[in-house]
Amino acid sequence: MSTVLEDGPYRYRVDTTWGRLPDGWRYGEVAAVGVDSRDNVYVFSRGDHPMIVFDRDGHFLRSWGEGIFRQPHGLHVGPDDSLYCTDEGDHTVRRFTPEGRLELEIGVPGVASSFLSGDPFHRCTHTALSPQLDIFVADGYGNARVHKYSPDGKLIMSWGEPGTGPGEFNIVHNICCDSDGWVYVADRENHRIQVFDTNGRYAGQWNNLHRPCGLCMHGAANPRFYVGELGPGVQFSNRDWPGIGPRLSIMDRTGKLLARFGDRRSPTIRDSAFTSPHGVAVDSRGAIYVGEVSRTTLKGRGVALDPDTDPICLQKLIPEHGALPS
């Protein structure tokens, strides 16, 4: 029987077998997922085949990126279906065609800026585009900055410092832009999403989140935001606490919570439907694709893992009862 996730009018059937790999292949982990204009799904993984492409029904189409990426982390699909791949381990952002032809590279492969210097990049995490195709880069694990680049890869400006105040970050992990140019930043270890204008001016923040990690915006006129929350990770403090994830939340553009799935509500309820929702994407029919870095998370919790078998790294949430609520 399929797992069903339901919160009010939002109801999804979970398919953990979607996206069948060729024989002998494995994901390793799925750091990010993207969907193009034809609902082809791009799975950015940490296995031997970094970019794996499926059609909407989960049929394998092709793969590429072998020998290019060190530590896949973020993926953004542009309006022309170009792919912006953020490589945490290589300190680069690269733009590719859907077939894997390199078009643009930002950063020096294998060379990091000094830790917390503010200079790009030190373990950058994710990329987003403005309506004018400016490139915003979350920089990420070794910096507390957002960098804004021109469409041809020239640095325009940067903002952000380590801290907890407005415009400060504690692991700027993910980023997206809406059709009006507002920039939404998943400030993971500050447990919030901050909102900025296109020039980095602070406009507000969304709370009621716990370690927001994956961030995806879907829709233009009335966008919804899909937030993967890692949940607790402190071994001797709150790792087994209910009510703080791991989970997937849906919010409107004001930060109002519309639905939330996978959260443990009491110690007697089984674990969340998710392990570590790290990357999120949505197709034209409202199906949600969730990429998980399960191996890293489970290993950190002391779980013994079979080196030849992946834990669940990719799930598809299929909406039920027709159209989603407006």
Per-residue pLDDT tens digits for 197-221: 999 999 999 999 999 999 999 987 8
- Supply the pLDDT for residue 269: 41
Looking at every residue in the chain, the average pLDDT score rounds to: 92
- Supply the pLDDT for residue 243: 84
- Supply the pLDDT for residue 198: 97
Ordered alpha helix ranges (H), the chain: 294-300
Of the pLDDT bands very low, low, confident and very high (cuts 50, 70, 90), residue 263 is confident
- Supply the pLDDT for residue 219: 86
Report the pLDDT averaged over residues 298-310. Answer: 78
In whole angstroms, how large is the CA radius of gyration of the chain? 18
149 - beta bridge partners?
135, 155
| Cβ proximity of 12 and 263 under 8 Å | no
6-20, 78-92, 121-135, 262-276: range with lowest mean pLDDT: 262-276
pLDDT greater than 90 at residue 77: yes
DSSP, collapsed to helix, strand or coil, labels residue 162 as: strand
Report the pLDDT averaged over residues 117-138. Answer: 98
Per-residue pLDDT tens digits for 16-66: 899 999 999 999 899 999 999 999 999 999 999 999 999 999 999 999 999
- Supply the pLDDT for residue 245: 85
Q: Residue ranges of the domains in the chain? A: 4-319
Of the pLDDT bands very low, low, confident and very high (cuts 50, 70, 90), residue 270 is very low
| Cβ proximity of 186 and 171 under 8 Å | no
Of the pLDDT bands very low, low, confident and very high (cuts 50, 70, 90), residue 271 is low
Quote the tokens at residue 218: 């879907």
pLDDT greater than 90 at residue 226: yes
pLDDT greater than 80 at residue 264: no
Closest of 310, 274, 306, 271 to residue 292, by C-alpha: 274
pLDDT greater than 50 at residue 268: no
Strand 247-251 to 224-229 pairing: antiparallel
Instruction: Please state which of the four CATH numbers 3.40.50.1360, 2.120.10.30, 3.50.50.60, 3.40.50.720 is assigned to the domain occupying 4-319.
Output: 2.120.10.30
Quote the tokens at residue 244: 């703080």
How far apart CA 6 and CA 172 sit, in angstroms, is: 30
